Amino acid sequence: MSTKGPQVTVTVQRGGPEGPGRKQQFQVPAYGSQTVLDVVSWIQQNADPTLTYRFACRVGMCGSCAMMVNGVPRWTCRTHVSKVLQDGAMELAPLRSLPVIKDLAADMDPFFDKWVSAEALHHPTASRDDPIAPIDPDAPERVTASAGIECINCAVCYAACDTVANNPDYLGPAALQRAWTLYNDSRDGAHGAILDAVTGTGGCQSCHSMGSCTAYCPNGLDPLSAIAGLKRAATRRFFGKGKG
């Protein structure tokens, strides 16, 4: 490949589940409006076809392509190289706090297992034979729920969270935020089970309110406030008040 024109120096963490392997450096041609995912794809297509990474939609909807860019978790398809370069270089690594499948592809299983552990799944109150439940979009609980439903499951918050990094039991911001949206959803039929799940080992009480989840969420969501909401709801229940 041509090495003329402006170049970006990219260091990529290679390796598999046995632990981080060597770091490999690539010189990648720089383009205007180039995203970090463009850089990774260029390496895979032009320099080293064995480089493993994950992506799907390329437009910030699917949550597949998150990785550590210069030590910070980012959705790489919507991150411009020009915004993250440090002295003309950047370093890429798989998402923090998750096992590695290979190179830049993290194993998302623990992340999604914790969604289930947090009861962050819908508990139906009606069947398909029932009439569609009317939902008032302006009802306070619905507004609270709606604030958190645009999560794309990218695990950027999970990788950003120092509590996740230090406490393997902690359910993490995404699962807890999902649980909070369902707790505020009038169609969900197991608010008590949700509170039981999010106050178990590694539940909402493990959060230290450091706020990295909210600071790094690429969709501008606020898991920190969602977790604070769960803490308040669980405290109300502790004193015999509130629902659930």
Partner 1 sequence: MSEFHLYMAQRLSALVMAPFVLVHIGVMIYAIQGGLSAAEILGRTQGSVFWFLFYGMFVVAVSIHAAIGLRTILSEWAGLRGSALNITALAIGAILFAMGAQAVYAVTATGAA
Positions touching partner 1 (CB under 8 A) are 163, 166-167, 199-203, 205-206, 234-235, 238
| Minimum distance of partner 1 from residue 210's CB (angstroms) | 12
Cβ proximity of 195 and 218 under 8 Å: no
Cα–Cα distance for residue pair 120/108, rounded to 1 Å: 16
| Minimum distance of partner 1 from residue 230's CB (angstroms) | 11
- State which residue, 202 or 218, has the beta carbon closest to partner 1: 202
Cα–Cα distance for residue pair 40/171, rounded to 1 Å: 30
- State which residue, 187 or 237, has the beta carbon closest to partner 1: 237
| Minimum distance of partner 1 from residue 242's CB (angstroms) | 14
Residues ≥6 apart with Cβ < 8 Å to 233: 183, 195, 242, 243, 244
| Minimum distance of partner 1 from residue 174's CB (angstroms) | 20
Cβ proximity of 153 and 57 under 8 Å: no
- State which residue, 110 or 200, has the beta carbon closest to partner 1: 200
Residues ≥6 apart with Cβ < 8 Å to 202: 117, 167, 168, 169, 170, 171
- State which residue, 14 or 114, has the beta carbon closest to partner 1: 114
| Minimum distance of partner 1 from residue 114's CB (angstroms) | 15
Q: What would the two tokens of residue 230 be?
A: 């769960």
Cα–Cα distance for residue pair 227/198, rounded to 1 Å: 9
| Minimum distance of partner 1 from residue 4's CB (angstroms) | 50
- State which residue, 11 or 167, has the beta carbon closest to partner 1: 167
- State which residue, 102 or 237, has the beta carbon closest to partner 1: 237
Residues ≥6 apart with Cβ < 8 Å to 124: 187, 189
